[in-house]
Amino acid sequence: MTLTIVALLPGLQNTNGDAESAAVLARRAEWAGLDARVVAVDDRGGLPDRVDAIVLGSGSDSSLETSRAALLTMHDELRAWGTEGVPILAVGTGWELLSWGIERPDGSGIEGLGILPGRAVPSRGRVTGDLVIASPRFGTLVGFENHARDYVGAEGSPLGRVRAGRGNGRDSGQEGVVMGSVIGTHLHGPVLAKNPSFADQLLGLAATRAGLDYAPGARAAIVDGYAAAAREAQIGAARAAASVTDA
């Protein structure tokens, strides 16, 4: 059995390297002794027969319409996979496109695929900087946020609580959204490279669905040490920045 990890629209939705989270999943699966491959998919015709996990990264606003048109060709499959428990990680505009929709400052909008609750709305200005959250399901997660929209309507199903940064905004104190195995987040990085335990939980879901056992391999422990050091440095910097702001 080979785990098939789909990177959706990597040519359009990889502004912050988020599509590389698919490669993180595949490599960690290989370190655990499992066969895995990454399949880049640009439209419905490129979908493999079996899909075990999906990564949809973030793109520029100029590509929103093009990306939406491509995703619409796969709408039924995406909805079915989410219902069936296939882990789907969507970041930035990829997440927004899976939502109810995106509102623009001029009053126009883009209808989303409606797979995740909530919608993206204009914020007062672009938000950039370190983002640290506490997730009841995935633990402490770190990343970098870079977005000009807040996210509303996901109050009952956030990925976690903001410990540093802005997250969904509008004073919600929340970040991201989760519906079953479908996850939307502002965390760039790519997020799975910065948060190996997050990657391992998604791989565990994918492996279980495929009838396989997953446990991190010995090589993962070495790499995770580097990730842990980087995470601690980022968390420390975020705390320091917050203390200066509060002073």
**Assigned token pair, 165:** 């940064």
Q: How far apart are CA 59 and CA 92, in angstroms?
A: 7
Residue 153's nearest CA partner among 184, 194, 192 is 184
Distance CA 96, CA 106 (A): 18
Per cent of the chain over pLDDT 70 is 98
Q: What is the DSSP letter of 115?
A: S
Beta partners for residue 103, in sequence order: 109
Distance CA 211, CA 216 (A): 17
What's the pLDDT score for residue 239? Answer: 77
CA distance 241 to 129: 10
Residue from 80, 28, 79, 1 nearest 204 by CA: 28
d(Cα 89, Cα 48) in Å, to the nearest integer? 18
Q: Are 186 and 92 in contact (CB under 8 A)?
A: yes
Q: Please report, rounded to a whole number, the percentage of residues in the chain having pLDDT higher than 90.
A: 88
CATH architecture of the domain 2-246 equals 3-Layer(aba) Sandwich (3.40)
Task: Name the DSSP letter for residue 61.
Answer: G
Measured CA to CA, the distance from residue 26 to residue 207 in angstroms comes to 12
Taking each helix axis from N to C terminus, what angle separates 218-246 and 196-209, rounded to the nearest 10 degrees? Answer: 130
CA dist., res. 102 & res. 118, Å (int): 10
Q: What is the pTM of this model?
A: 0.95
128-156 pLDDT, tens digit per residue, is 999 999 999 999 999 999 999 999 998 77
d(CA 117, CA 154) in angstroms, rounded, equals 6
* Tally of CA atoms within 13 A in the half-sphere of 163 that contains its CB: 19
Residue 47 has pLDDT above 60, yes or no: yes
